[in-house]
Amino acid sequence: MLISELYTAVQGEGAYSGTPSVFLRTTGCNLRCWFCDTPFTSWNPEGEDVPLEELRQRISAFGVEHVVITGGEPMMPVEMTELTRQLKEAGHFITIETAGTIFRDVTADLMSISPKLSNSSPKQDEKWLARHDETRLRPEVVAILTNRFNYQLKFVVDTPDDLDEIEEYLAPMANIDRRRVWLMPQATTREELAEKTVWLKPLAQQHHFRFSSRLHIEAFGNVRGK
């Protein structure tokens, strides 16, 4: 499997925020968000091809229960079905962080789904713009994932206007529990994060959603491997 990073850190977002975890970051993504904070998995994918068994051993060798499988888009590699099965068998708690555009038969304790709003569109890139916008929302995939797995939905919010789009997106999804919906500021620097937190926190409360900061940005800014 092509991976770009394998490291330990503290989960910085959502329900398990603050939990020490192993992060496996796969390379390759079917989207091209302009604000992508891991362009080395999407715009300019790079990585190391690691055999499955070796990868499972390398993950377990950290001796950490929680494993966060992220990307890129971690539902792309076909080997993810077998890797997650083996990790579960080895006693790990598995979170998969996905944009919710691809279904794969995986094993996960938490499906962390981050549907991409129109604020993600790469307006500067004509080649990717149409493809990104056609692909970024797959409510039928999100419906399967939220029915089959323990889930959380995370939305990256850039401006207060994004709330209307989130409400519109969720309106036909009767099964979604609003207490499992997290709003996070779109930010790549501490300053931006702090500035957007001021208005987003109360806005999340008003809409009965939850607010999530991004602890890794609070602590380090946008630094790779943290």
From 1, 31, 69, 184, residue interacting with ligand SF4 (rule: CB under 6 A): 31
117 binds ligand SF4 (CB under 6 A): no
| Positions in 141-180 near ligand SF4 (CB under 6 A) | none
Instruction: Find out whether 107 and 85 touch, Cβ atoms under 8 Å.
Output: yes
38 binds ligand SF4 (CB under 6 A): yes
Instruction: Find out whether 25 and 71 touch, Cβ atoms under 8 Å.
Output: yes
96: left (phi over 0), alpha (psi -120 to 50) or beta: beta
186 binds ligand SF4 (CB under 6 A): no
- Least distance between ligand SF4 and beta carbon 171 (Å): 23
How far does CA 165 lie from the centroid of its chain? 19
From 14, 72, 77, 185, residue interacting with ligand SF4 (rule: CB under 6 A): 72
- Least distance between ligand SF4 and beta carbon 127 (Å): 14
From 99, 110, 200, 204, residue interacting with ligand SF4 (rule: CB under 6 A): 99
Centre a 10 Å sphere on the Cβ of residue 46 and count the other Cβ atoms it contains. 10
* Alpha carbon separation from 177 to 60, 109, 124, 150 (Å, rounded): 33, 17, 35, 11
Stretch that binds ligand SF4, among 35-43, 77-85, 141-149, 162-170 (CB under 6 A): 35-43
Centre a 10 Å sphere on the Cβ of residue 114 and count the other Cβ atoms it contains. 21
Which positions touch ligand SF4 (CB under 6 A)? 29, 31-33, 36, 38, 41-42, 71-73, 99, 116
